Amino acid sequence: MPIPRPERSACPVGGSNPRGPGLRTLDMKKPSTKNAKRPAATTALAAVAGVVAASVVLSVAELIGAFFTARATPVIALGSTFIDFTPPWMKDFAIATFGTNDKLALFVGMGVTILLLACVLGIVAYRKWALGAAGVLLMGAIIVTSVVTRASVKPIDAIPSLVGTLAGLIVLRLLISRLWRMAVWPDSAADVAAKEPERPASSRRAFFAVSGVTALASVVAATGGRMLSAARSGVTQARDTLKLPSPAKTAAAVPAGVQSPTPGVAPWITPNKDFYRIDTALSVPEINAQDWELRIHGMVEQEVTITFQDLLDAQLIESHVTLTCVSNPVGGNLAGNAKWLGMPIRDVLKMARPKEGADMVLSTSIDGFSASTPLEVLQDDRDAMLAIGMNGEPLPLEHGYPVRMVVPGLYGFVSATKWVVDLEVTRFEDKQAYWTQRSWSERGPIKTMARVEVPKSFAKVAAGTVAIGGTAWAQTRGIDKVEVQIDNGPWTEAVLAAEASVITWRQWSYEWDATPGPHYIKVRATDGTGEVQTDKRADPVPDGASGWQSVAVTVE
Ligand SMILES: Nc1nc2c(c(=O)[nH]1)N[C@H]1C(S)=C(S)[C@@H](COP(=O)(O)O)O[C@H]1N2
Ligand SMILES: [Mo]
């Protein structure tokens, strides 16, 4: 006789119709043709059981996770691990396709993957419990591994994922047991008898009741977990009430006329809320300024640790600096200009006294991102700083609160470390930064770039005088000329807006006498050294895009 499937456990969850082994109805019907079809339907229910169990895993971990490191919840840890293993072309594709919605896209992708996996595991568990359970435990092991291998995460932070996985396994078992009890196995009459199926309608109702209640409880637990961790951290409130000290050296006055007169060109100062955000952080690190410390070590005479109070007490400087992302495509908008307040990194390095032979500073964030910056760039007079203020406010959480690096002239991936906690003085020969390990360059001076912002690509404009305008940058070299070319006509100089400094972007405008028909607008800049922006097209990987932007418009 075949071994009957396990049918212990009357699950009292939900309370509706708990049928223990002793409560079986005696009025069992013979399996009808309708009943014979039920395994297919039950397979679908098994998938539902899998999804409910997955929601339990994630929500229980989220709820308990409120008492552990924020980055230790399964979704964040899995997503971050996925990001760390993302090949450069995929990162590029994601940014090109989704822009700064790349994280949302990742969450959607993960959601779909988890959903499918949960369905499969539910079905497998229904057919062969041991295999399904092994699958769940394997997923749990993967989650726990991805949690404990994150930066600044302690082994104890595995607890939310462990408890979540166990809770999910228990729920899966309860739901699958219900399915076993209501299923009819048409293999043999004896088998059917051994199963003693329940009446289909009521047992299916019970299954849905239990699933529904559990799923709802999951949503409540997950939301509660979110709110609890936000309330517990208090970082947002601390940031909002932080008073920034005034700088010892205020920013150089911005001359009148830095803004391009062309309507629609980006504001010269990028408001914090519109500042592009690029990072690998799925959940924004929440660091208490009081707990923040920066360790400066490695090839130094004197290891130094500075606190946030040390920064507040230091001789701060203020400077307008334009940040640019290496992933910015030609004509793209991954650049922003802000007034930063911070302590010069050269002052910090003076305390630590780098040793002979060091040529790089590896800066690391609390979440494990790192950047390699040439030592000399941090020691010269270009205002590289440990920034605590952005446009007169404490750094927004997404932009590195409480402290980030800002280094004029270098792409962010080799300089602009947010949530920075560690500076190691070392050599390019000895250490590689986060993106360098992923086949991006080890150095990243910003390439000269001119961008058309008005009119937009594929715009329709009226014939006559058309205002063209945009922004150009070549940080540390400055912009000396911007030229515009219509179709294959001559290159003509645009009118440059005032220049604030060589480390900020420079805007421009151009009046075009447009004739009806389709046209191309091309733009190129010349930097302060007299070098014309190259027309050679390059992808962002490995050290930044190049080429002239060309905008197609229709004149009517
Ligand atoms: N901790 C951390 N800092 C980081 C990154 C990151 O992924 N993690 N990305 C860098 C990159 S690639 C860029 S372009 C800038 C972007 O800074 P923003 O988001 O404030 O504009 O941050 C840099 N600092
Ligand atoms: Mo970047």
Residue 255 belongs to some domain of the structure: no
Which ligand is closest in space to the CA of residue 543? Answer: 2
Which ligand is closest in space to the CA of residue 419? Answer: 1
Same domain, 490 and 549: yes
Residue 242 belongs to some domain of the structure: no
Q: Which domain holds residue 408?
A: 272-438
C-alpha distance across the termini of the chain, in Å:
84
Which ligand is closest in space to the CA of residue 365? Answer: 1
Of 438, 465, 492, the position where a domain reaches its end is: 438
SS (H, E, C) 151-217: CCCCHHHHHHHHHHHHHHHHHHHHHHHHHHHHCCCCCCHHHHHHHCCCCHHHHHHHHHHHHHHHHHH
Same domain, 365 and 505: no
Supply the CATH number for residue 298's domain: 3.90.420.10
Residues 6+ apart with CB under 8 A from 471: 260, 265, 266, 335, 450, 451, 453, 505, 506, 507, 508
Same domain, 324 and 432: yes
Residue 127 belongs to some domain of the structure: yes
Ligand 1 centroid to 279 CA: how many Å? 5
pTM for the model stands at 0.84
Ligand 2 centroid to 311 CA: how many Å? 26
Of 384, 416, 438, the position where a domain reaches its end is: 438
Residue 443 belongs to some domain of the structure: no
Same domain, 276 and 178: no
Same domain, 211 and 316: no
Same domain, 303 and 176: no
Residues 6+ apart with CB under 8 A from 21: 7, 8, 10
Q: pLDDT tens string for the chain (556 positions)?
A: 344 443 333 333 333 333 333 233 333 333 333 444 457 788 999 999 999 999 999 999 999 998 888 778 888 899 998 888 887 778 778 878 887 788 888 889 899 999 999 999 999 999 999 999 999 999 999 999 999 999 888 899 999 999 999 999 999 999 999 999 876 544 444 444 455 555 566 778 889 999 999 999 999 999 999 888 888 888 999 999 999 999 999 999 999 999 999 999 999 999 999 999 999 998 899 999 999 999 999 999 999 999 999 999 999 999 999 999 999 999 999 999 999 999 999 999 999 999 999 999 999 999 999 999 999 999 999 999 999 999 999 999 999 999 999 999 999 999 999 999 999 999 999 999 999 999 899 999 999 999 999 999 999 999 999 999 999 999 999 999 999 999 999 999 999 999 999 999 999 999 999 999 999 999 999 999 999 999 999 999 999 999 999 999 999 9
DSSP of 340-392, one letter per residue?
Answer: EEEEEHHHHHHHH-BPTT--EEEEEETTS-EEEEEHHHHHSSS--EEEEEETT
Say if ligand 1 is within 6 A of residue 484 CB.
Answer: no
Residue 259 belongs to some domain of the structure: no
Ligand 2 centroid to 326 CA: how many Å? 5
Say if ligand 1 is within 6 A of residue 292 CB.
Answer: no
Hey, whose CA ends up nearest to atom 18 of ligand 1? Answer: 277
Same domain, 382 and 330: yes
Same domain, 137 and 208: yes
Pocket test for ligand 1, best of 279, 292, 372 (most atoms within 8 A of CB): 279
Same domain, 417 and 506: no
Ligand 2 centroid to 416 CA: how many Å? 9
- Closest atom, ligand 1, to C-alpha of 419: 1
Supply the CATH number for residue 474's domain: 2.60.40.650
Residue 239 belongs to some domain of the structure: no
Same domain, 354 and 413: yes
Residue 455 belongs to some domain of the structure: yes
Residue 7 belongs to some domain of the structure: no
Question: What does the angle CA 466 – CA 472 – CA 473 come to, to the nearest 5 degrees?
Answer: 175
Q: How far apart are CA 212 and CA 225, in angstroms?
A: 20
Say if ligand 1 is within 6 A of residue 323 CB.
Answer: yes
Q: Tally the domains of the chain.
A: 3
Supply 234's token pair: 């208090």
Ligand 2 centroid to 10 CA: how many Å? 55
Ligand 2 centroid to 334 CA: how many Å? 8
Same domain, 470 and 392: no
Same domain, 456 and 428: no
